[in-house]
């Protein structure tokens, strides 16, 4: 990892490209350039056979400079530091301050590259890249550029270790409203990376974070509890509260059980809608059969009229409000006030 400082005094962490990836990118670029140069040379030889030797030599040199120097310089300038080989390898040429290169940077790199890559078969470029701390060849040194890696492998996100079992629920009454989000983020980052830290450094950081957290909550860590375990337990309590706030403490199964307790005929339903439907149904059945509102299931009901069925009970399989009748009229589920 290399730290570059921009003109605004902002530190940039970039990964300089090393020799293997740069050599592969240069090899791909050379294969394309040499193939194009050979094809153009064949066409020139066939079309300039009538010219003298000096004209043929001039055209060959012009084709060499154009295809092996001019085209790569133009490509890097227009693509802001990316050639075909660099695109394949995930590399890019940037300035020393991290900004995109311009024509003069690409021209200097291309001109010196002819000497250190083409004329010496890459020996000078390899030696310079091995000696440089950031893997720069002579063209990068004179142009003030750096080849960096664009495709950086994503680091695996560490998981927060669980607190010890004997600390579960111990901080359920802790007031966490005064703890800022920045402190929570610092605690989480420490817990996910504490295995990568030096033990002494990790202990000092844990004690400092535990002190900040205790100052915000007003409750210091219990005696004998390690600072890291205290941080993990408090963070787990905060996560549990956030989960309860987001998803609630009740479940659909609890609501279905409540609905079955209210009306035995609605045991197959679930959810708040079943509870709302079950309560009027039970009250309407009690009204039709003449049961008292406070009476339990099975309370004998007096006949409401000649057409009322005898022996009907509120909980003993009584008909619903649409099937029972009182005075020859269908029940509507409406319960008159007492």
Which DSSP string do the residues of 93-114 spell out, in sequence order? EEETTSPBP-HHHHHHHHHHHI
Q: Name the strand (E) or helix (H) holding 314.
A: none
Question: Does residue 323 sit within a domain?
Answer: no
Answer whether residue 188 is part of any domain.
Answer: yes
Residue 301 placed within a domain = no
Same domain for 141 and 114: yes
Region 158-166: mean pLDDT is 75
Give domain status of residue 72, yes or no. yes
Q: Measured between alpha carbons, how far is 235 from 167 in angstroms, rounded to an integer?
A: 12
Last residue of a domain, one of 149, 180, 214: 149
pLDDT value of position 249: 56
If one counts the domains in the chain, the total is: 3
Q: Is 296 helix (H, G, I), strand (E, B) or coil?
A: coil
Task: Tell me which H or E stretch contains 149.
Answer: strand 145-149
pLDDT range class, residue 303, cuts 50, 70, 90: very low
Residues 298, 314 contacting (CB under 8 angstroms): yes
Residue 109 confidence (pLDDT) above 60:
yes
Distance CA 235, CA 190 (A): 12
Supply the pTM of this predicted model.
0.45
Is residue 299 assigned to a domain?
no
Q: Which residues pair with 148 in a beta bridge?
A: 16, 92
- Please give the pLDDT value at position 102: 93
Domain boundary among 101, 122, 149: 149
Dist. CA 89–CA 84, nearest whole Å: 9
Average pLDDT, stretch 122-148? 91
Write down the number of H helices and E strands in the chain.
Answer: 12, 6
Q: Which pLDDT value is given to residue 12?
A: 52
For residue 337, how many C-alpha atoms fall within 13 Å in the half-sphere facing its CB?
0
Q: In whole angstroms, give the CA distance from residue 23 to residue 140.
A: 14
One domain for residues 238 and 280:
no
142 and 10 in a common domain: yes
What region, left, alpha or beta, does residue 168 occupy, with left being phi > 0 and alpha being psi -120 to 50 degrees?
A: beta
Does 60 score more than 70 pLDDT? yes
Tell me the pLDDT tens digit for each residue of 276-290: 444 444 444 444 444
Handedness of CA 10, 11, 12, 17 (dihedral sign): positive
Structure tokens at 97: 């301050």
Both 128 and 228 in a single domain?
A: no
Nearest to 289 by CA among 322, 264, 314: 314
- Helix, strand, coil fractions of the chain, as percent rounded to 5: 55, 5, 40
Q: Does one domain contain both 39 and 131?
A: yes
Residue 40 belongs to a domain: yes
Look at the block and give the residue holding tokens 């902002």: 10
Expressed as residue numbers, the domain containing 269 is: 252-292
24 located within any domain: yes
Q: Are residues 242 and 287 in the same domain?
A: no
- Domain assignment present for residue 304? The answer is no
Pick from 149, 184, 216: which residue ends a domain?
Answer: 149
State both tokens at 322.
């649409």
Per-residue pLDDT at 300 exceeds 50:
no
Do residues 71 and 171 both lie within one domain? no
Same domain, 144 and 169: no
**Type and span of the H or E element at 33:** helix 19-47
The Cα–Cα gap between 118 and 104 comes to: 20
Distance (Å, rounded) from C-alpha 103 to C-alpha 23? 23
Over residues 115-124, the mean pLDDT reads 90
Query: Which sign, positive or negative, has the C-alpha torsion 247, 248, 249, 251?
Result: negative
Strand segments, DSSP code E, in 7-71 are 11-14
């Amino acid at each position: 990892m290399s730290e570059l400082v921009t003109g605004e005094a902002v530190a940039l962490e970039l990964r300089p490209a090393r020799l293997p990836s740069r050599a592969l990118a240069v090899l791909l670029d050379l294969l394309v350039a040499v193939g194009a140069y050979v094809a153009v040379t064949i066409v020139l030889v066939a079309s300039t056979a009538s010219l003298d030797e000096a004209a043929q030599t001039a055209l060959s040199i012009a084709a060499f400079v154009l295809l092996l120097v001019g085209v790569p310089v133009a490509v890097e300038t227009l693509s802001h530091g990316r050639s075909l080989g660099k695109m394949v390898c995930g590399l890019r040429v940037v300035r020393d301050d991290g900004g995109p290169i311009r024509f003069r940077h690409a021209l200097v790199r291309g001109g010196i590259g002819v000497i250190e890559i083409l004329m010496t078969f890459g020996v000078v470029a390899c030696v310079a890249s091995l000696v440089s701390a950031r893997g720069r060849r002579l063209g990068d040194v004179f142009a003030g550029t750096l080849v960096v890696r664009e495709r950086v492998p994503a680091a695996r996100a560490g998981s927060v270790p669980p607190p010890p079992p004997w600390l579960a629920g111990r901080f359920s009454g802790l007031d966490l409203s005064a703890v800022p989000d920045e402190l929570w983020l610092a605690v989480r980052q420490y817990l996910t990376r504490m295995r990568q830290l030096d033990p002494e450094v990790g202990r000092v950081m844990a004690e400092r974070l535990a002190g900040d957290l205790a100052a915000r909550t007003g409750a210091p860590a219990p005696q004998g509890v390690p600072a890291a375990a205290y941080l993990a337990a408090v963070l787990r309590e905060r996560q549990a509260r956030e989960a309860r706030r987001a998803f609630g403490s009740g479940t659909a199964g609890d609501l279905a059980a409540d609905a079955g307790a209210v009306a035995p005929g609605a045991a197959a339903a679930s959810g708040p809608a079943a509870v709302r439907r079950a309560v009027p149904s039970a009250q309407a059945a009690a009204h039709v059969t003449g049961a008292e509102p406070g009476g339990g299931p099975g309370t004998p009901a007096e006949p409401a009229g000649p057409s009322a069925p005898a022996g009907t009970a509120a909980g003993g399989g009584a008909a619903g409000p649409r099937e029972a009748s009182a005075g020859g009229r269908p029940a509507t589920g409406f319960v008159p006030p007492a």
